[in-house]
Each structure stands twice: as structure tokens, then as C-alpha cells.
Amino acid sequence: MLGTDKQIYEKFVGITTIVKIPALKFTILSGTIKFEWQSGHLLEMDMKIYQELEPLEIVQRLEFELEKDYQVKPRKYRTDLSGYSRNPFSSQN
């Protein structure tokens, strides 16, 4: 399904651009998307919810689960995006 669904793939790329959780991967089974990382299960959600959420919203849920289930401070996995402009139409030169 991943190879044939461009939207699912692009959203996951967006997620991995925002956060660098070690060995983050997902599987899709029976309308559910399951996220895992190096230490095991992280998050499970309905595909409809996954498709409705923006990558940043999914990252926030992943970070919540990291802290709740594994007592890991998730901010250490955030990618530093400070070099990017807030306005996508402004010059970044």
C-alpha cells in the first residue's frame, strides 16, 4: 500500500523531516496505521485520522506517546528548523 499511495508516503516523509525518532517506521493493517521505533510500539491510529491530520499534529502525538510510555523527552529528537523562514514566500537568501 505504501508504494501505491503517494499521500501516505509524503505525509510520512513530512513526519520524518520534523522529527528524527530512532528507527521510526509504520505498518498499515486493516485500516489502522501503527508506528514503531527502536524500543517497540509507539502509536496506533485509524487511517482516516492519519489522513486528516497534518504531519506536525502526528509528530505531537508521537512525542506525547514517547514521553508517556517510555519517559523519553521527545524534544531531543526534533529537527532544528530554525534556519527556515516562517513565510514560505519570502526570500531565504
Question: Which structural domain range is residue 43 located in?
Answer: 6-76
Grid coordinates representing 93? Answer: 537568501
Residue 93, in any domain of the structure: no
If you average pLDDT over every residue of the chain, what do you get? 87
Instruction: State pLDDT tens for residues 35-70.
Output: 999 999 999 999 999 999 999 999 999 999 999 999
Distances (CA, A) of 55 to 15, 27, 71, 90, 91: 5, 16, 22, 22, 24
Mean pLDDT, residues 69-88: 80
Residue 88, in any domain of the structure: no
Residue 26, in any domain of the structure: yes
Rounded Cα distance, 25 and 87, in Å: 30
Residue 59, in any domain of the structure: yes
Residue 43, in any domain of the structure: yes
Distances (CA, A) of 65 to 21, 47, 72: 12, 18, 9
Residue 27, in any domain of the structure: yes
Would you say residue 31 has pLDDT above 70? yes
Backbone angles phi, psi at 40, to 5 degrees: 125, -155
Residue 91, in any domain of the structure: no
Residue 85, in any domain of the structure: no
Q: How many domains in the chain?
A: 1
- Identify which has the larger pLDDT, 89 or 78: 78
